[in-house]
Amino acid sequence: MATDIERHLTKLREFHQEHLLQYWDEISDDEKLLLIKDIEEQNLKEVSTYFATAISSLDADHLVLDAKLRPIPAKVSASALNSTPEELETYQDLGLKEISDGRVAVLLMAGGQGTRLGVSYPKGMYDVGLPSGKSLFQLQAERILRLQNLAELKYKKRGSITWYILTSEATIRATREFFKRHNYFNLNEKNVIMFEQGMLPCFTLDGKIILDEKYRLARAPDGNGGLYRALKVQRILEDMAEKNIRSIHAHSVDNILVKVADPIFLGYCLSRSADCGVKVVEKSSPTEAVGVVCQVDDSYQVVEYSEITEETASLRDENGRLKFIAGNICNHYFTKDFLQSIADVHETELKLHVAKKKIPYVNQKGERVVPSTPNGIKIEKFVFDVFPFSKNFAVWEVTRKEEFSALKNNDSANRECPSTARKDVLELHKNWLKQAGATTVEGDVEISPLVSYAGENLSVEGKSFKGPIVL
């Protein structure tokens, strides 16, 4: 093994990472094998480049973009709020036809653990306390089942929606076990495909890879933009090609109101021949901490709220609406061909985002230390950084109360937490029942996605409801 160590040391020295072997004589043979495996999994040339690029982007991120910003032009955007019923029906029919033909997939980004929620399991397994006790995963699975039924009713042909679930090293095992335990929520197991995003090493502020243990590198998931590399490396794009999938709906797991594979959104993007589309909501205020979809020079981007001055964020048009109004909610349409072009051509061009974090490390005495202040950086890619590569971009605006309620924090935060998520679902379902003719709705009345996807199929004229109940 000595010659192997010399070989590894030579390679490590080339990239100034020889410190990774400093505890070699203090670890067991099994631990040596783990350390070498970790090192061999790193493309040192690439990750060193990542660090240099990320640090330069960290400096550039402080440049305010105000002078370059333009609102989304009308030619690429439309809104559910002012489309006619006929237009919405046309879009929905197009989307349902695509589903009936078996050409739709859902890409669920579910790599995050519920750390901020205060749990140690994948966020998709979380139950916010609805009367049904359903998890986020179950709600989304049942929306897929209902859509497949709606498409079959409309076009007399049963098409399956393939559900690709992006997990991480920390969540893949628990996610698989959860789905098996719940019999895949009555979806066809063959149509639920889980794959894993990559990991990147964590660095000190001067570019050294951090050791989490004497025999283990500190690593973190490569962000939701790691999706594109994972699609290729794990042969998901090949699977899509074999299934003749054309339209893909990608979204994050933590929006409890998400319209999974929304046929109206799919149909709108299909009607525009879009290769890349984004669903947005109106920002609640100029200072709301969400990214904004806008034009920067000649390309479309999501610009973080911290990159715009409050003065620019507060600009309004002649109708009194914010000029930079299109709040990003991590809800996207892609064609399979667009994803292929990203994976094959543009993935290495994606911007690298840097987060300064408190990263546990091994000190000079060989002791593992959990720091109290940020001591290193994690590098991530973001899913929306592919927008500039789109040849035909489309923006679709929807109503927040119907389509967006994020679950990020525990209840002590009083926002984007289980209480607000539960309230928003029950409020939406109450509105559905009232619109369908119910006379009174009191207490917690929940509607199963298996009964209604978006308020349809409710025979409740003249009826009264008192919760807690599940229809």
pLDDT digits over 193-224, tens only?
999 998 899 999 889 999 999 999 999 889 89
Model pLDDT, residue 64: 62
For residues 298 and 107, the model is more confident at 107
Pick from 455, 442, 452, 440: nearest CA to 402: 455
State pLDDT tens for residues 341-383. 999 999 989 988 888 889 999 998 999 999 999 999 999 999 9
SS (H, E, C) 74-134: HHHEEECCCCCHHHHHHHHHHHHHHHHCCCEEEEEECCCECCCCCCCCEHHHCECCCCCCC
Does residue 468 have a cis bond before it (omega within 30 degrees)?
yes
Pick from 358, 293, 304, 361: nearest CA to 332: 293
Residue 63, pLDDT above cutoff 60: no
Model pLDDT, residue 407: 96
Residue 457, pLDDT above cutoff 90: yes
Residue 468, pLDDT above cutoff 90: yes
128-157 average pLDDT score: 98
SS3 470: strand
The CA distances from residue 335 to 147, 162, 236, 275, in Å, are: 19, 14, 14, 5
Least confident of 48-57, 110-119, 139-148, 336-345: 48-57
**pLDDT tier at 62, thresholds 50, 70, 90:** very low
Highest-scoring range by mean pLDDT, 66-70, 114-118, 334-338: 334-338
Phi, psi (deg, nearest 5) at residue 430 = -60, -45
Q: How many other CB atoms are there within 10 angstroms of residue 352's CB atom? A: 23
**Measured distance CA(355)–CA(366) in Å, rounded:** 26
| Per-chain mean pLDDT for the chain | 93
pTM score, whole prediction: 0.93
The fraction of the chain above a pLDDT of 70, given in percent, is 98
Partner residues linked to 354 by β-bridges: 379
303-308 average pLDDT score: 84
**pLDDT tier at 5, thresholds 50, 70, 90:** confident
Model pLDDT, residue 298: 86
State pLDDT tens for residues 6-59. 888 998 999 999 999 999 999 999 999 999 999 998 889 888 888 888 777 665
**pLDDT tier at 465, thresholds 50, 70, 90:** very high
Could you tell me if 327 and 397 are in contact, meaning their C-beta atoms sit under 8 angstroms apart? no
Residues forming CATH 3.90.550.10 domain(s) in the chain: 64-408
Pick from 420, 416, 440: nearest CA to 430: 440
87-108 average pLDDT score: 98
**CATH homologous superfamily of 64-408:** Spore Coat Polysaccharide Biosynthesis Protein SpsA; Chain A (3.90.550.10)
260-265 average pLDDT score: 98
Could you tell me if 376 and 217 are in contact, meaning their C-beta atoms sit under 8 angstroms apart? no
The CA distances from residue 273 to 89, 240, 262, 457, in Å, are: 18, 19, 17, 31
Dig out the tokens for 156 from the structure.
Answer: 């007399």
**pLDDT tier at 60, thresholds 50, 70, 90:** low
Tokens 């679950």 sit on residue: 407
Instruction: Give the chain's count of helices (H) and strands (E).
Output: 13, 24
Model pLDDT, residue 3: 52
Pick from 343, 332, 388, 346: nearest CA to 240: 343
State pLDDT tens for residues 81-91. 999 999 999 99
Residue 1, pLDDT above cutoff 70: no
Q: 395 exposed, middle or buried (CB, 10 Å; 0-12, 13-18, 19+)?
A: buried
**Measured distance CA(26)–CA(367) in Å, rounded:** 12
Dig out the tokens for 383 from the structure.
Answer: 């899913």
CA dihedral 365, 371, 376, 382 (to 10 degrees): 140
222-234 average pLDDT score: 94
